[in-house]
Chains A and B, each alone.
Chain A
């Protein structure tokens, strides 16, 4: 079985401050991890992924995420938040069963960047 947990429903951060959106995962074997962002009335947009290699993954719009195997975490980070980053963020893990390529999503974290 596989799952991800996003422990925070809501994260508030002041514009210009660093932001972190937390995600922990549970999966047997090597995880394939993803972050997506959802803006109002728009589809999910891919931000970044970890499959293998460097633990620090850089993605779109200045976001990055750090894969930590010992803590089973994949937190999303950005050094300086913008008001336009306000959105709903989802962490996801790929299924591990043979032939399973679907994603298992967390419940989402709503990020609000305060001007």
Chain B
């Protein structure tokens, strides 16, 4: 079954703690994205990666970090510097964007992060 998986489905963070959200895809897509969704709001881009070992900040990157060591994986770390981390986090991927033509983005099921 091809698709995007995110784990865990729910994650609890204590004050001052860093937590890492997993995102894996087996679609052979080059590009991967992290979005944040707050209740009743649209999606906001945190980070994106067009190719392995390269990533770029989105609109709200402060307090977050990412890595892209493998094509299939794009983990997101929510650091203690992110003061309001409670949200629904969505990972997406798309085929090769470097041709200049924007491809359709496909989303994972999401991880809901809650602060204790």
Q: Is B one of A's binding partners?
A: no
